[in-house]
């Protein structure tokens, strides 16, 4: 596996030799002082270039970076619509284990680009044309303090979509139930846990993409409860996970409400939980919903 020094020397050497490339930047986890280094960290590289077409029309120019096992070019994919505007990216996984996410950026976008991410580090500026860039910080990714309205919306969404999960389970539509449990209900649980972490750390930390650093900030007992909210492929276990999520959400939401000095609607949580229990006990051939 090529070392970090070898990779950076290779990237900068190629940029130095190509007149179309006027500046090179690095961003992402490799510039974040709060992220531990490991062998799977990407090299998030951007080339600011004088023109784009010659790069895009000659796909072989990226072969200089090494032997690839797979590559993705999001801007030419039909299944996933591109979202980089005038920019173009090459996501490259190399046989030696290294990965480069390389983005071409029109040089005229330099001023806007340099304001987009505070984890940006300038590696090369041939013309000294880029604006001053401050030392990298991950503060843009710190947990943000919620407003009272955001808190209420999170609670409402959690309990509202929980009823969809129950409906899917009663209908024996496990994929529908799992989709709503993990795509809509779980993010609200994670959001509430993030806010609790935020209050405990004075909103000065990031829990990482998908909450990957959350374990570092949660008490061990609560972390284990969170892990227990993941369901296997049986209907019984999805029911179990749904109720476990509800208990953890309510406990955490009460703590966040105290920090925010707002009320948590215990009544709403209790009403929905009781409804979920009734759906769970409803016969599969039911033609009417019994009164509580």
| Domains in the chain: boundaries | 4-137, 142-281
Cα–Cα distance measured from residue 289 to residue 282, given in angstroms and rounded to the nearest whole number: 8
Architecture of the 4-137 domain: 2-Layer Sandwich (3.30)
Question: Are 4-137 and 142-281 equal in CATH topology?
Answer: no
Token pair belonging to 168: 């899917």
* Phi and psi torsions of 68, nearest 5°: -95, 145
Distance CA 194, CA 260 (A): 14
Q: Which helix (H) or strand (E) holds 292?
A: none
229 pLDDT more than 80:
yes
Average pLDDT, integer, range 16-28: 95
Half-sphere exposure for 221 (CA within 13 Å, toward CB): 3
What is the CATH code for 142-281?
1.20.120.330
- Could you give the angle at the alpha carbon of 189 between the alpha carbons of 185 and 192, nearest 5°? 140
Mean pLDDT of all residues in 134-159: 94
For range 192-214, the mean pLDDT: 95
Question: So what's the pLDDT on residue 106?
Answer: 96
Looking at residue 181, what DSSP letter applies? I
Q: What's 183's DSSP letter?
A: I
Which among 118, 288, 103 is positioned nearest to 206, based on CA atoms? 118
Q: Is 68 helix (H, G, I), strand (E, B) or coil?
A: strand
Encoded tokens for 27: 């961003």
Give the tens place of pLDDT for each residue, 157-169.
999 999 999 999 9
d(CA 24, CA 3): 19
Q: What angle do helix axes 235-260 and 266-281 make, rounded to 10 degrees?
A: 180
In the chain, % of residues over pLDDT 70: 100
For residue 252, name the pLDDT band (cuts at 50, 70, 90).
very high
Q: Which is nearest to 158 in space by CA: 138, 175, 134, 183?
A: 183
For residues 44 and 7, the answer to whether their CB atoms sit within 8 Å is: no
Contact 123, 28 (CB under 8 A): no
Which region among 84-88, 143-147, 260-264, 267-271 has the lowest average model confidence (pLDDT)? Answer: 84-88
Q: How far is CA 240 from the centre of its chain?
A: 26
Task: Kindly tell me if the per-residue pLDDT of 292 is higher than 80.
Answer: no
pLDDT score recorded for residue 36: 86
The whole-chain average pLDDT of the chain stands at 94
Torsion of CA 180, 183, 188, 191, to 10 degrees: 170
DSSP 3-state of 278 = helix
Chain centroid to Cα 30, Å, comes to 17
Q: Which range, 27-36, 185-194, 258-267, is most confident?
A: 185-194
């Amino acid at each position: 596996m090529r070392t970090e020094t070898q990779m950076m020397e290779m990237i900068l050497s190629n940029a130095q030799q190509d007149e179309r490339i006027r500046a090179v930047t690095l961003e992402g986890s490799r510039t974040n002082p709060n992220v531990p280094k490991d062998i799977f960290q990407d090299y998030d590289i951007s080339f600011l270039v004088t023109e784009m077409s010659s790069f895009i029309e000659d796909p072989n120019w990226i072969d200089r970076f090494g032997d690839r096992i797979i590559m993705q070019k999001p801007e030419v994919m039909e299944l996933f619509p591109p979202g980089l505007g005038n920019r173009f990216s090459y996501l490259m996984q190399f046989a030696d284990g290294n990965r480069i996410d390389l983005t071409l950026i029109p040089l005229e976008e330099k001023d806007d680009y340099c304001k987009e991410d505070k984890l940006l580090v300038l590696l090369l500026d041939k013309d000294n044309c880029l604006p001053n860039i401050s030392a990298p910080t991950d503060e843009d990714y710190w947990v943000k303090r919620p407003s009272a309205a955001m808190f209420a919306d999170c609670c409402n969404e959690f309990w509202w979509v929980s009823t969809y999960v129950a409906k899917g389970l009663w209908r024996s539509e496990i994929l529908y139930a799992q989709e709503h449990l993990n795509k809509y209900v779980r993010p609200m649980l994670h959001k509430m846990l993030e806010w609790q972490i935020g209050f405990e750390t004075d909103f000065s930390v990031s829990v990482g993409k998908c909450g990957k650093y959350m374990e570092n900030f949660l008490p061990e007992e609560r972390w284990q409860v969170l892990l227990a909210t993941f369901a296997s492929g049986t209907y019984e276990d999805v029911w179990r996970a749904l109720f476990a999520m509800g208990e953890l959400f309510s406990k955490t939401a009460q703590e966040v409400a105290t920090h925010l000095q707002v009320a948590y609607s215990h009544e709403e949580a209790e009403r929905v939980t009781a409804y979920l229990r009734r759906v769970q006990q409803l016969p599969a051939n039911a033609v009417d919903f019994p009164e509580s």
